[in-house]
Each structure stands twice: as structure tokens, then as C-alpha cells.
Amino acid sequence: FPVENIRNFSIVAHVDHGKSTLADRLLELTGTIDKTKNNKQVLDKLQVERERGITVKAQTASLFHNCEGKQYLLNLIDTPGHVDFSYEVSRSLSACQGVLLVVDANEGIQAQTVANFFLAFEAQLSVIPVINKIDLKNADPERVENQIEKVFDIPSDECIKISAKLGTNVESVLQAVIERIPPPKVHRKNPLRALVFDSTFDQYRGVIANVALFDGVVSKGDKIVSAHTQKTYEVSEVGVLNPNEQPTHKLYAGQVGYLIAGMKNVTEAQIGDTLYLHKQPVEPLPGFKSAKPMVFAGMYPVDQSEYNNLKSAIEKLTLNDSSVTVHRDSSLALGAGWRLGFLGLLHMEVFNQRLEQEYNASVILTTPTVPYKAVLSSSKLIKARRAVQKNMIFIDQNRVMLKYLFPLNEIVVDFYDSLKSLSSGYASFDYEDAGYQTAELVKMDILLNGNTVEELVTVVHKDKAHSIGKAICERLKDSLPRQLFEIAIQAAIGSKIIARETLPIFKNIFQYGGDITRKMKLLKRQAEGKKKLRKIGNVEVPKDAFIKVLKTQ
Ligand code: GTP
């Protein structure tokens, strides 16, 4: 394919505005997939994506399209819309020269529409606004056109109005991709320079790297080097994604495709790495800014004998999702495990679900927390800051964009859901890191008969300590078995007790008399149970009790 007939583009949008549906129509229109009634989110390949109806992984498809007698190769990258996966979007854009910015004709510009526009704008990509769902009864494409002109400074006559669901006017989208997005600026005569922008692990074939070729050519049998590890590999297969893998003889600069080169270890195909030909070193491509995790949670195997299997599952999945950070951790109650960092709560849930569905792992995930920096001095006396308004922009008469500075732990757990229900689903939300701020935080201990339970020590805001402490004490009371003495369950800040529950005494079976074999059975069961107990002072705590208190609700 001559470079001038190649277009690399991505579809970006706010969640549910119809990216995946538009991708389906583009695949059909170019004959990449057969036109049947059942083509629904073809590029959403993961089980979790189909169950939740959302895209979490960017996917690539190469489409062939004839226009005015010329054959074009259009490489399409479908990207996720939810704020937690914006890292996937920014990575995908590095392989593109343009984007289709899809906006719902009824909802208009939303938080991720703005965030995605700026990602594309900063990457200097051509932006084609596509107003979707014009078939809806209350669609108001003219209003959305005006919003686009006002907020993004794109003339309203550049908007393409379509219904991805019905296929209305989708050909104009293809036409615009060819006319308005420039071909990639690449040099085929130069030595190979390929960017690894995604990778997956296949049990049988090892690492499959998705690559965008900036310079040169790569063929089966070539010896290539990873700029990151300096290791050399022999290429065993190259091909395009159509949208399934289709081997080809070569991949040329300007193309997007995949490459298999006997990389067995998941650390060998770093996303953002540059591949070049053996003995023809090149300047590595800039790669990617590493993702910054916002939410941390402990992950442990349900059974410690599963530790190694879970370790390898986590390694393989983080290859496919490099935005997750992994550090080894251990807990007296739950054994050896990891502390994982995620971009948000949905990201955490999806990662957990993928581990279970794609790797058959069963894990214990502890309540998520956000990172804090502690300064051990009197500066904590400074008054805590809650949300601080930064600015306000009117998108049109009906919609306003507000910018606030929030403590991360206030937005991480249920903020998005509360916002949605308070605004009856009208408000949308996007966030970026604003750095550390001083706040009145306290370390809260949980005590059992006066002894601290290390696993349950948390950092909370001073104003919320009482309600959180009370909730933990109640949960612990419900999950601890009664024992031969009364147990005081307390939450404390320093030496001050802020919440208390009391677990009453357990009536010993011998007090009731009765059948001796039944008693022996009960005693045996108790003894077995003890193996899984942890002693805190004189109180025995079964592993289940920790799991119930620590686990995500
Ligand atoms: P994420 O992958 O989760 O980011 O969402 P998405 O932007 O890919 O949206 P998707 O294509 O999954 O569409 C969301 C919903 O809108 C689905 O129920 C689609 O059937 C519906 N939808 C998409 N396009 C149209 C359209 O043109 N008209 C109407 N009426 N509905 C549409």
C-alpha cells in the first residue's frame, strides 16, 4: 500500500455515545465483516466488555475501502469512553493522525467529550466531529453543532450527522476520514522503527505485540531488537488485525498490525517500547507517559496454595493493561499478596473480573484506598479543604462545565454514582490529578479487647472518622464468632475511643450436657477452624472475619 493511501484513526467519545456501534457500521460498510443483524460491538472482544456493555480495551481493525478508483487502507482503533480508561485512549492516539469525535445528538458535549478532544488536540490530530443518534426523537443536532463550535472552535458545517444504529450517512464518515485525515508521515526506506502500543499474552504463541510502524519494513524471519531490554528476537509472524489476526508477508511503515517474535516473558514486550532491526539501531520513539494510579487495593489468593498461579495471571493481565501497578505485600490475616494501583474504581472492578473470567483466578480484594503523604508535624492543624471551585464555563443555556478541586478519597468510591443519581443521569464527570494537598487526616486503629488489629488500621478524614469507625465495628461484630468471654470492639484515634460495639459471651456446649459424640464432633470442628485463626491478644479471629471486613462492599 502506498503511504498516501493509508489513514490511521481512532474513534473517541463520551461513554455510550456510540463509538462501538459506529465501528460496527464501518466494518460492515467496508466488507470487513458480513452485514447481519447480529453485529453488535464486534470489537468488544472481552467477556467483561460484553457483559457490561462498555469498551475497556482499545481494539484495532484494518479496513480496506475503495474510493474514486483508489484502494485505501484505513486502520481503525476503537477506544474506551469511561474516564478510568483514558490511558488507553492517549496510547491509541499515538498511532493515529486523526480522530472521529462522536457526540450524542441528544446529550451533547459531556465530560469525556471535552477530555478526549483535548487529548487529540494536544497530539495535533485532525478532529472530525460526528453527531450520532440523529434518529432519536429528542435529538437536537443543531444545538450540538453550536456547542461544538463554541467549545472546540470547530466550524459547525464540519460536523457529520449520522445514525450509527441505522447506518444513516455513515458513508460520509468514511469519505471524511480519507479527505480530512492526512496519511502518516513515515519513511519506508529508513531502517525499521516500530512502536509497541499494546500487547497481549497468548498461552500458545507467547506475547503478541500490536505495533505501529513509523519507519522501514518488517518481515517474518527478521531479527529485531527491543530498545527497552536490548534483547534480540526472530520474528515468527507479522500481520494485520482484520479485526482478527490475519498473517501477511510484511508490515510497512504507516501500517498498524501485530508481530510475534518468541517473547515468552511478559516483561519483554513493554508498551511504549521501540523495536528495530538487529545491527540497525534507531533513536527510540518517545513512548508513553506512565499512567498514574489513583486507587490502591490489596489482592490476595483465596487459598495460599494458589499464590503462584495468581502471580502469573496478574503478570499476564498487566501486560495487556500496563496502567496497573503491582507491588508485593503481605497481611498477617490474608497471607502473601500484592498491593495493586488502579486508575479508578471501575478499572479495579474490571481488572478483578478479567482475572476471574480470563484466568480462572479467585481473589480477595480489600477495600480500596487512595495514596497519602504523611508529614509528622503540627502542620496538620491546617484546616481541611473540601471541594474548592476553580472555574465555570457555560457550554450552552442548558449545560455548564464546573471545575472543582476535590480530595481524591471523596470522589473515588461512590461519587460518580451519587452524581449520576442526584442529576438523574444528566451530569457527567472527568478528573485529573491535581497533586497532594494538606488535609486533616487521622490514623484510625481498630481494637479487640484493647489490642490493635494491624490489618484494619486506616487513614480517614477527621470529620468522617466516627461514621467509618462505627461501620467497621458493626461489620466486625457481625463477622466475629462469639468466644468464651465478652469482646470489646473499638475504633480509636490515638488513645481516644470514637466508636464501640460489644460481642457477647459464647455459651459453651458443655453447659448444655447432651450426647458425647455430638460434643466430640463439635470440638473437632472447632479445632479444625482454629488452624485458620489469628490471635489478637486473647481474641481469636477467623480468616473469614477479616475477609468480610476488608473486602470491597
Ligand atoms: P463504550 O464502549 O462503553 O464507551 O460505549 P460506546 O460509545 O462504544 O457506545 P455503544 O456503541 O456501545 O452504544 C451505546 C448505546 O447507544 C447502545 O445501546 C447503542 O445501541 C446505542 N446507539 C448507538 N448508536 C446509536 C444511534 O445512532 N441511534 C440510537 N438510537 N442508538 C444508538
pLDDT tens by residue, 93-133 = 888 899 999 999 999 998 778 888 888 888 899 999 999 99
Q: Which of 357, 271, 285, 327 is nearest to 88 (CA)?
A: 271
At residue 344, the pLDDT reads 76
Res 423 pLDDT > 70: no
Which of 160-164, 269-273, 427-431 shows the highest mean pLDDT?
160-164
Residues 6 or more apart whose Cβ sits within 8 Å of residue 204:
none
Q: Which tens digits make up the pLDDT trace of 10-24?
A: 888 888 899 888 988
Residue whose Cα lies nearest atom 22 of ligand 1: it is: 18
Q: Which of 466, 492, 460, 472 is nearest to 546 (CA)?
A: 472
Ligand 1 atom with the smallest distance to the CA of 55 is 2
At residue 553, the pLDDT reads 42
State the Cα–Cα distance between residues 498 and 465, nearest whole angstrom: 8
State the Cα–Cα distance between residues 365 and 424, nearest whole angstrom: 31
Res 176 pLDDT > 90: yes
256 is in an annotated binding site: no
390 is in an annotated binding site: no
Q: Which amino acid is at 450?
A: G
Give the number of other Cβ atoms within 10 Å of residue 78's Cβ. Answer: 26
At residue 522, the pLDDT reads 59
Res 540 pLDDT > 80: no
Please report which confidence band the pLDDT of residue 198 belongs to, taking 50, 70 and 90 as the band edges: confident
Please report which confidence band the pLDDT of residue 142 belongs to, taking 50, 70 and 90 as the band edges: very high
Q: Can you read off the three cell numbers belonging to residue 536?
A: 489478637
Tally of helices (H runs) and strands (E runs) in the chain: 13, 29
Cis amide leading into 371 (omega within 30): no
75-103: average pLDDT: 77
Res 384 pLDDT > 50: no
State the Cα–Cα distance between residues 509 and 523, nearest whole angstrom: 9
Residue pair 80/11 in contact by the 8 Å Cβ criterion = no
At residue 385, the pLDDT reads 34
Ligand 1 atom with the smallest distance to the CA of 102 is 7
Residue whose Cα lies nearest atom 20 of ligand 1: it is: 165
In terms of Cβ atoms closer than 10 Å to its own Cβ (0-12, 13-18, 19+), residue 260 is: buried
Q: Which of 4-13, 159-168, 425-434 has the lowest mean pLDDT?
A: 425-434
313-338: average pLDDT: 81
State the Cα–Cα distance between residues 60 and 41, nearest whole angstrom: 13
Q: Which of 247, 173, 174, 172 is nearest to 208 (CA)?
A: 247
Instruction: Give the dihedral sign, CA 457/463/469/474.
Output: negative
160-184: average pLDDT: 95
At residue 342, the pLDDT reads 85
DSSP state of 383: P
Q: Separation of 18 CA from ligand 1 center, angstroms? A: 3
Cα-based distances in Å from 96 to 78, 125, 445 = 11, 8, 51
- Proportion of the chain above pLDDT 70, given as a percent: 73
Instruction: Give the dihedral sign, CA 279/284/288/293.
Output: positive
Q: Separation of 13 CA from ligand 1 center, angstroms? A: 10
Res 339 pLDDT > 60: yes
Q: Can you read off the three cell numbers belonging to residue 466?
A: 466516627
DSSP state of 66: E
335 bridge partner residues: 331
Res 239 pLDDT > 90: yes
DSSP state of 159: -
At residue 552, the pLDDT reads 45
State the residue for C-alpha cell 500490536.
Answer: 210
State the Cα–Cα distance between residues 359 and 314, nearest whole angstrom: 9
Ligand 1 atom with the smallest distance to the CA of 164 is 27
Residue pair 384/439 in contact by the 8 Å Cβ criterion = yes
Q: Which amino acid is at 199?
A: S
Q: Which amino acid is at 465?
A: A
Provide the 3-class DSSP secondary structure of residue 316: helix
Query: CA torsion angle for 205, 211, 217, 220 (degrees, to 10)?
Result: 0
Cα-based distances in Å from 255 to 31, 35, 173, 195, 213 = 19, 26, 21, 11, 6
Which of 21, 104, 113, 350 to probe ligand 1 with, by most ligand atoms within 8 A of CB? Answer: 21
Provide the 3-class DSSP secondary structure of residue 373: coil
Please give the residue that has the higher pLDDT: either 266 or 405. Answer: 405
State the Cα–Cα distance between residues 37 and 46, nearest whole angstrom: 20
End-to-end CA gap in the chain: 53
Please report which confidence band the pLDDT of residue 380 belongs to, taking 50, 70 and 90 as the band edges: confident
Residue pair 297/342 in contact by the 8 Å Cβ criterion = yes
Q: Which of 16, 13, 22 is nearest to 103 (CA)?
A: 13
Nearest-5° angle of CA 262, CA 266, CA 269?
Answer: 65
Residue whose Cα lies nearest atom 5 of ligand 1: it is: 16
Ligand 1 atom with the smallest distance to the CA of 13 is 7
Residue pair 62/256 in contact by the 8 Å Cβ criterion = yes
Q: Which amino acid is at 118?
A: F
Residue pair 163/169 in contact by the 8 Å Cβ criterion = yes
Ligand 1 atom with the smallest distance to the CA of 17 is 7
Sheet with strand 6-13: strands edge to edge: 59-67, 70-78, 6-13, 98-104, 126-132, 160-161
Q: Inter-axis angle of helices 465-479 and 543-550, to 10 degrees? A: 150
DSSP letter string, 471-512: HHHHHHHHHSPP-SS-EEEEEEETTEEEEEEEEPPPPPGGGG
Q: Can you read off the three cell numbers belonging to residue 242?
A: 482484520
Res 60 pLDDT > 80: no
311-327: average pLDDT: 82
Q: Separation of 322 CA from ligand 1 center, angstroms? A: 27
Please give the residue that has the higher pLDDT: either 30 or 517. Answer: 30
222 is in an annotated binding site: no
In terms of Cβ atoms closer than 10 Å to its own Cβ (0-12, 13-18, 19+), residue 133 is: buried
Q: Which of 371, 380, 402, 374 is nearest to 389 (CA)?
A: 402
434-452: average pLDDT: 81
State the residue for C-alpha cell 464527570.
Answer: 429
At residue 317, the pLDDT reads 83
Which of 16, 100, 133 to probe ligand 1 with, by most ligand atoms within 8 A of CB? Answer: 16
Which of 15, 20, 48 to probe ligand 1 with, by most ligand atoms within 8 A of CB? Answer: 20
Q: Separation of 165 CA from ligand 1 center, angstroms? A: 8
DSSP state of 413: T
pLDDT averaged over every residue in the chain: 79
Res 481 pLDDT > 70: yes
- Which pTM value belongs to this model? 0.67
24 is in an annotated binding site: no
State the Cα–Cα distance between residues 546 and 300, nearest whole angstrom: 12
Ligand 1 lining (C-beta closer than 6 Å): 13, 15-21, 41, 54-55, 80-81, 132-133, 135-136, 163-165
Please report which confidence band the pLDDT of residue 220 belongs to, taking 50, 70 and 90 as the band edges: very high
342-362: average pLDDT: 82
Element at 240 (helix H, strand E): strand 237-241
277-287: average pLDDT: 83
Q: Separation of 24 CA from ligand 1 center, angstroms? A: 11
Residue whose Cα lies nearest atom 15 of ligand 1: it is: 16
Residue whose Cα lies nearest atom 28 of ligand 1: it is: 133
Ligand 1 atom with the smallest distance to the CA of 81 is 4
Res 189 pLDDT > 80: yes
Give the number of other Cβ atoms within 10 Å of residue 452's Cβ. Answer: 15
At residue 192, the pLDDT reads 95
Provide the 3-class DSSP secondary structure of residue 117: helix
